[in-house]
Chain A
Amino acid sequence: MDIDSIADRLSSLFPGSVRGIEKEHAGDPFLVMDPARLVEVCMHLRDDQEMRFEWLMCLSGVDYPPETIAVVYHIHSQTHGQKLVLKVLLARSEPRVPSVESVWKMANFHERECYDMFGVDFEGHPDLRRILLPEDWEGHPLRKDYVYPESYRGVTNKA
């Protein structure tokens, strides 16, 4: 199934869940999804016999200042040998999206990393806390406007 037919199928089963298809750039095309219906769409993508996207390959955050943070899901079907890219665009001031940890357990660590690096709140995640940085770290480093801390707990951060 190519990306257009997947988009049509999802739009008919979950009206309003697909907000658009982006194909005009170099590289992989992707579907822009509605965050509110993400979990049920992903559950369908994983379990439907014609799609069977059993694998979540990668979950990443991308910062598009000044207004958007995107969370990108790369999924893959071993049965049918096809890949799909889903993107949700979130408001940068308060990025919030339902967690897909109930669909693919692999998302557990990756969502924690996205929270750590971008500040995205994954609703329904069983254990959302920082994973790569200390618990009392301030700020979200991979945001484009991140300011490097001068020191941490009394130890200077300057070279």
Chain B
Amino acid sequence: MIELSITGTNAITFPHLDVWDWRIVIYLFLGGLSAGMLVMCSIANLRIPKQPVEELAQCVRAPFIAFIVLAVGAQFIIFDLGSPFHLYWGYLTFQPLSLMSWGTWGVPAVLFVNALYILAVIPKDQRHRLRFPFIIKISEKLAPKMRLIAKLNFAMGIFLGIYTGVLLSSFSAIPLWNNATLPILFLVSALSSGAAMIVIIAKKAEIKFLFTKIDIWLIVAELVVIALFFYGLYTSTAPYKKAIEPFFSLTDEHFIFTIALIAIFLLLPLALRIKLGELKEFEDGFHGEFTRAQIFRMNFAAILVLTGTLILRAAIVYAGQLTKLSFY
């Protein structure tokens, strides 16, 4: 029996870390969502144009919503800061080893490129809605460079998707996060949630169907990567084995993480199942209209995916802070 009695502990680090909470979870979720949406939009513009995709390419709503989502997400992390008025110091330097620094510069950069993309992609007949003449002028100048901006946007989306994962994996003191699988997991999860979001906001049923198909691959990838994530930690050393215990615990205090894991492995496959079901119906190719029920099922599957992504982020952020490198 080891008896431990410690005089002089801080509540933020003992008995376990209690540093980042729902604000960061929402930031990571919205950041990932925005990243996924940007990537999806950009792909649409970089593919050889096909009928439904052309229409997407001219759809401004997706990148616009991605912009709002990321801007709102950034508010949450600023809300989490203890001294937000000192934030300008982050812009007087760049710390290549600090993921927070990458985020400080990166998020505004993503927003900027996203704004350019919106201006480049906005259809001619909608341009007048930009109101301000000099913005309209910029939009006119950018439109011909759309493919280039789309490539930039794509890169920014990938960056944002990976960055949210590397932010967590950079902490060597937190065994659950400190592995190479986490950034991949967050990227795949971000892309999946991006595709799901586009399914929900798309007005045209064909777009919904297209991204439902795309999301199938991403969900499969996500489930595989989650499994690899846990397996990789299980086969690592003691603190890492301990870090995944909350997800497999049957005791009261950590049971919620087991439930979270079960939820993820219920929601995502269920969404998958629904999507595959849809797919089967149109094996022979797409003809005509979708029924309301079919549209509802596609939206529902997308919501399941989004929920699953949110639960995943929350579980990883909270469970990570339960286990440290030291044994107490």
Answer yes or no: are A and B bound together in one complex.
no
